[in-house]
């Protein structure tokens, strides 16, 4: 019987085997999954929708939150100092007529020149 000849093709070297193994072990990016179908939302009650809208519209043709805080502070000041307000007014009038008058008027004019009110 004749013996079969062995092929003389080269066997892959160690380096090539390592490269192949490394290439197989690399993670491939996962396929993008389809998003789950969205469920229809129930309409919120009218009051809840208005409240959500108001929260979003804090700043528009002015800063509503700042205006509200200012009004609240002014109201609280008047409540705390109701009895002292006439006295405070007289003190301010005396300060304008006294030595401080010209500097107070100059400060007022400077502040008015910076304001946007005509």
55-108 pLDDT tens trace: 555 666 778 888 899 999 999 999 999 999 999 999 999 999 999 999 999 999
Percent of the chain with pLDDT over 70: 55
Asked whether residue 3 carries a pLDDT value surpassing 70, the answer given is no
The answer to the question of residue 73 being in a domain is: no
The answer to the question of residue 93 being in a domain is: yes
20-31 pLDDT tens trace: 766 666 666 666
The answer to the question of residue 76 being in a domain is: no
10-61 pLDDT tens trace: 555 666 767 776 666 666 666 667 777 777 766 666 666 666 555 555 666 7
The answer to the question of residue 106 being in a domain is: yes
Q: Whole domain around residue 97: which residue ranges?
A: 83-118
Domain count, the chain: 1
The answer to the question of residue 99 being in a domain is: yes
**Are 88 and 81 spatial neighbours (Cβ–Cβ below 8 Å)?**
yes
């Amino acid at each position: 019987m004749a013996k079969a000849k062995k092929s003389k093709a080269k066997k892959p070297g160690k380096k090539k085997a390592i490269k192949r193994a490394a290439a197989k072990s690399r993670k491939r990016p996962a396929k993008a999954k389809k998003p789950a179908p969205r469920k229809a939302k129930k309409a919120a009650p009218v009051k809840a929708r208005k409240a959500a809208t108001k929260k979003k519209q804090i700043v528009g043709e002015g800063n509503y939150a700042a205006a509200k805080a200012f009004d609240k502070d002014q109201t609280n000041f008047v409540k705390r100092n109701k009895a002292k307000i006439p006295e405070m007014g007289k003190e301010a009038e005396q300060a304008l007529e006294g030595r401080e008058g010209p500097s107070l008027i100059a400060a007022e004019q400077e502040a008015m020149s910076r304001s946007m009110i005509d």
